[in-house]
Structure 1
């Protein structure tokens, strides 16, 4: 089936082997927080706050670093290609000690770096500006209280330093993404004041220039959140301008915009003004609900734009969802593989023929080629990719997940 598919794609000018090489060299950054419902390992960690919510209570949640790593290893065994780990600061190896966010150090994450080294994968990092007493009123880096702002500035600065060491030790730059939940449920009287404080705080966070070979800074916008329905300080316009001014990467989260708004259309514009792009591939259903990513139109359009813009070398792809209503291993694997399948479909488009038709004004041929590509046997190419990487194909994935649930997850309850 693969050889037949390869010949069919060749007939429209698509080199399938070249597409598979590109797919294999594009890692997806796996978000650690899917494994334990965004709890982390801080001593005395309380309930999830700052407008974040995880629904469901499926058995088998990771309760320790060892269990989370065990689950991540299982997920990696189900994914073709080499990937990355995206770690939040609350997941440090704190050894049961009470370490506040403004006191985290490399030592608290060295075992994670060692683990990633053993797995042969890179890491990304995030300061955790949420679910903390100093964020309970909805503000962190834009807080009116200078003392609270300084606390979060220090946390973010330490996070950047830790990430840079991760990148240095692993030989692959860590993307350090700064997101804050700052906003208001009702109408503010001084939007400008909050945004000026956020800008000043970010300037302080990024004051130390780190080696881009080890650390890549990113900032992330949001439309609204629970408890910040009327006003979010870090809007898209704010961070688009800030990333352009500072020449940081800009993070576009698929769940952080209006439900009818696609981030696919933003990619080509954003990349004209910022050096790199970070994508949080998610699936918001009516709001930023972070459902498991699917092989759907929205995900396919995102990947199509990355390929059509030749943006893969400047883009970092991560996932951001947390579903506790289903098997968490399945959620990770299905979501990651959906992103990979969407990317493969984009890589298998007859790009040269599409461009030729478009530039000549032959929109009939362009439309016909786009529809033709959908009907070609891409699934045979995906099956070949899975086989080459010694991971389950689509029909074998569920059995592997269920076996792990029976032998490992069920013993945790």
Structure 2
């Protein structure tokens, strides 16, 4: 897009927003606080590098599609991620799973992983000036085949996964220490029952015991923030999920942990945006995994829809930036994976900018005075304000492609790099 046209459109849009008491410059400046953690697993369809052929064969999380160009090595993954960040305004982080270590072609079991297997990622992140987040990987492993990991009644299996959790926390803390920004360490497990169980309490008591053991070692919050992630159900765990929202919310509140809210992990009519202010009455911080659940937890590429807009609006309206850690979680192997990253991340960023261009104080005043027609009318009028012109100018300021210009860059990268893999 032409720079002069972008600047002219911005000036006109800026005037329209000023007429309703919104300063576009302040909104753009506030976008500095929007830091989104990119999920590494979109680059290779959740395959990881635990085994030499892992990235080729795929992982244990269902990913649909077989679009060419999947990252098959850590070098390819890092190149793809750097390309993605080159096309995004603002600053990002990277969210790693434990199966993405540099294991040197050797089989390193998950109760044996250490900082040395992720030092390369730390050095890479330091060079880019970004932070890292981390997740234990409780799937794609023989000791997860029973459907139970941290809640397993087999003590050997349970202890194996507790040790994995301990090592992941040590790795995460070292990431935070070396990079100078706290690493958010998230724990999600697939544990549950396909058919109706009898001993729900037994499994949950074991999960609580495992978490208590995994959290025994204390780490400074300057280096590590611990989060627990719930899920409504999963394939093969339709009748009962051990780590339900009720379980983890209670655990997080009692033990001062972050509750991770994935907007694909609830009933379709539940809105995670509505849960943020509720959880933050009782927890210091929350972690978000933003996705697009077309049919429940289908993990489609994020788009600018009402669900994502409500999430962003709740954070902005309450100035929760310092208490909400935002990450993405989707994996689409049916389209260009770089394109999926850029479209999804830009959609989340747009939602935040739209929220920042809202005359919140005026709307709250209308609400408190019972002027509900005016509130509704203003919210509707905001939908057709020239937000796009402000977004393009924001991209211009960050020296990244504005409008649809990023599409051609991604297609060129596909032709020059991805198609040759």
Q: Same fold (TM over 0.5)?
A: yes
Q: Describe how 1:26-45 pairs up with structure 2 within 5 A.
A: 26-43=34-51
Say if 2:226 is the partner of 1:233.
no
- Checking the alignment, whether the CA contact within 8 Å between 1:141 and 1:198 is kept in structure 2 is yes
In structure 1, what is the equivalent of residue 409 of structure 2? 400
> What does the per-residue CA deviation read over 1:9-34, in whole Å, with 9 as the maximum and x for residues that have no partner?
12212121221122122111000000
Matched residues in 1 for 2:26 and 2:92: separation?
Answer: 19
Does structure 1 conserve the Cα–Cα contact (< 8 Å) formed by 2:203 and 2:242?
A: yes
Equivalent pair of 1:350/1:369 in contact (CA under 8 Å)? no
| TM-superposed deviation, 1:45 | 6.0
Q: Residues 338, 277 of structure 1: CA spacing in aligned structure 2 closer, same or farther, 3 A cutoff?
A: same
Kindly indicate whether residue 30 of structure 2 is the aligned counterpart of residue 22 of structure 1.
yes
Residues 72-99 of structure 1: per-residue CA shift (max 9 Å, x gap): 0000001001100000010001111110
Query: What's the offset of the Cα at 1:324?
Result: 0.2
Answering whether residue 402 of structure 2 is matched by residue 372 of structure 1, we say no
Is the contact made by 1:37 and 1:324 (CA closer than 8 Å) also made in structure 2? Answer: yes
User: Could you tell me how far apart the structure 2 residues matched to 1:134 and 1:388 are?
Assistant: 50
Determine the structure 2 residue equivalent to 1:10.
18
Question: 3-state DSSP class of the match of 1:60?
Answer: coil
Is the Cα–Cα contact under 8 Å of residues 28 and 353 in structure 2 kept in the other structure? yes
The alpha-carbon deviation at position 48 of structure 1 amounts to 5.5
Matched, 1:410 2:410: no
Instruction: Give the structure 2 partner of residue 301 of structure 1.
Output: 310
CA distance in structure 2 between the partners assigned to 1:18 and 1:164 by the alignment:
34
More deviation, 352-361/79-88: 352-361
Q: Does 1:353 align with 2:362?
A: yes
Return the TM-score normalized by structure 1. 0.98
Partner of 1:88: 97
> Any idea what the Cα deviations from partners look like across 1:309-351, whole Å, max 9, x if unmatched?
3212100000000000000000000000000001111111111
1:150 corresponds in structure 2 to: 159
Specify every segment of 5 or more residues in structure 1 that has no aligned partner in the other structure, as ranges: none
1:18 and 1:215 map into 2 onto residues whose CA distance is 31
Which SS does the other structure have where 1:375 is aligned? coil
CA apart distance, 1:116:
0.5
Question: Secondary structure of 2:299's match?
Answer: coil
Q: Which structure 2 residues correspond to residues 314-329 of structure 1 after superposition, within 5 A?
A: 314-329=323-338
TM-score by structure 2 length?
A: 0.96
Matches within 5 A, 1:100-115: 100-115=109-124
- The 3-state SS of whatever aligns with 1:250 is strand
SS in 1 for 2:383: helix
Paired residues of 2:22 and 2:359 also in contact (CA < 8 A)? yes
Change (3 A) 1:23 1:164: same
Q: Runs of 4 or more off by more than 3 Å in structure 1?
A: 44-50
1-side partners of 2:229 and 2:387: how far apart? 33
Give the alignment of 1:58-207 within 5 angstroms: 58-207=67-216
**What's 1:246 paired with?**
255
SS of alignment partner, residue 196 of structure 1? helix
Residue matched to 2:232: 223
| Contact kept in structure 2, 1:13 and 1:352, CA below 8 Å | no
Alignment partner of 1:295: what SS? Answer: coil
1:281 counterpart residue number: 290
CA shift, 1:287, in A, is: 2.3
Say which is worse superposed, 162-171 or 5-14, in terms of deviation: 5-14
Kept in 2: contact 1:164–1:214 (CA 8 A)? yes
> Residue 271 of structure 1 aligns with which residue?
280
Find the residue that maps to 1:125 and give its secondary structure: strand
Query: Contact 1:48/1:131 (CA < 8 Å) preserved in 2?
Result: no
Q: Distance in 1 between matches of 2:53 and 2:247?
A: 31
1:384 alignment counterpart:
393
Q: What is the CA–CA distance in structure 2 between the aligned matches of 1:340 and 1:279, rounded to whole Å?
A: 14
- Contact 2:63 / 2:332 at 8 angstroms: preserved in 1? yes
Whether the aligned pair in 1 keeps the contact of 2:33 and 2:321 (CA below 8 Å) is no
Alignment length (residue pairs): 411
